[in-house]
Chain A
């Protein structure tokens, strides 16, 4: 579904991503691991169209999408959940969800059904529907941004550090949700620093170091590799 080749992202003189290549197949859950600053988030943001890569190729369903605007990427079926958990704090939970379905304004029935599905999956959001999203806890906000991204009915979900700053029990619940979404047929590219937990649910994994893909393979193999810690710390 997604093929990235030779991706380069620069911030001024800094090369955050240096020729990264990766692929995500239909229905796969692929983890992109690496230490802080390895270029994972930049790679994900480049795929989502939120920043413009300096070079490389990004193909979605075989179609070149490098440099496409973020709003167009959503229409093409790739939804992004950024690590900063950008809920719109002054909008209510319900309004946040409604905005997630912005690209589907003609499909009121489908949107209502999806909203029901998301509220069933995240019951706490139903309780807090009329509350400003800024009043939710970190874990609830993470659920909201995932549910909101799902409202566009994406085929590919780009998840950036969903475990960041959350208590372990909440992280477990979020990861259980990710597994459930994947079981329902969603393709997921998951960026995580929490390698053990990500490898436990992923099919395959890539490890990034200093802007390059340092290792890749089935999740079990990556998990078993003795140099995993070194990949992380050896930068």
Chain B
């Protein structure tokens, strides 16, 4: 029973983080049909902002807010630098510009800060553990679960109830038609990048809590996780991204619990095998998403 509870908490905590990462990636993909390969760097930017603010007397929550804000700004800058100038020209061009922007940010961190991991300030509560029904779990896991629940609820509310959310859903289904109803293309796209940055920034705080440090390459794993989760869930669907995130976390956590010690280092190989099996069964992902769709 305790083992089961432990398992559930692990899946929910990891899944919450994965789901938010995937959502941040898919919200831009849904509208532009383009993967933002500079997505992982949003997490890096959040980390380095925290690191740079580390020595200051500010309360942690304020540092965190500034760090998240930097992620949002970086998201918007990504749109302006890597996407907007070439968006209507070619898909290949945007692929390359978003890779280039990602590399640029990483190299800036290498050059200006250090190739070595730097420690980031974290509140004490992140390293405490709590006893819950016989299970000892890091408080950080519970914070992750709570954050995921609140953010997913807020996000759902925004998408279902607000006019902006409606416009974004419409733009994801048929961009040109949405524009012919007066929805400005740039407003929708910039909003998508800003929301993507917000989700990445908040996830980064939780993600950094695991190692308490930031390095230039820190964004790679979240980008990969988000990408795989959206592919499993269906690249075109917001619900799919969330489901994909939790499913991926379920697979990872199950393997952590089930695999013998000497196979554990090959966990990713098992994970990807499971992903391949899912895709053989549902090549379009679990959720299909809106029917029609085209780019600008």
Contact = CB atoms under 8 A, between A and B. Distances in A.
- A, B in one complex: yes
Interface of A: 48-50, 69-71, 73-75, 79-80, 82, 86, 88-91, 95, 98-100, 102-103, 105, 134, 148-149, 152
B169 A90 contact: yes
A95 B180 contact: no
Contacts of A148: 181
Which of the listed residues A49, A73, A86, A148 has the most CB atoms from chain B within 10 Å of its own CB? A86
Most B CB atoms within 10 A — which of A86, A88, A91, A98? A88
Contact of A69 (B167, B177, B185): B185
B182 A89 contact: no
18 contacts: A48-B180, A50-B176, A69-B179, A69-B185, A71-B185, A74-B182, A80-B180, A82-B177, A86-B176, A89-B173, A90-B169, A90-B291, A100-B181, A102-B181, A134-B291, A148-B181, A152-B181, A152-B182
Interface of B: 163, 166-167, 169-170, 173-174, 176-185, 290-292
A70 B176 contact: yes
B163 A82 contact: no
A90 B180 contact: no
Given A71-B180, A91-B166, A91-B170, 5 more contacts: A71-B184, A71-B185, A86-B292, A88-B173, A134-B291
B241 to A, nearest CB: 15
Contacts of A48: 180
DSSP majority for the B interface? helix
A98 B166 contact: yes
Contact of A102 (B176, B183, B291, B292): B183
A113 B114 CA distance: 62
Contacts of A74: 180-182
Nearest to B171: A88
Given A98-B166, A99-B170, A89 B292 contact: yes
Given A69-B185, A134-B291, A88 B170 contact: yes
A222 B170 CA distance: 40
A74 B185 CA distance: 13
Contacts of B176: 50, 70, 86
B182 to A, nearest CB: 4
Contact of A98 (B163, B173, B179, B290): B163
B172 to A, nearest CB: 9
Give 8 closest A-B pairs by Cβ, nearest first.
Answer: A74-B182, A103-B182, A86-B177, A70-B179, A70-B180, A71-B184, A80-B180, A102-B182
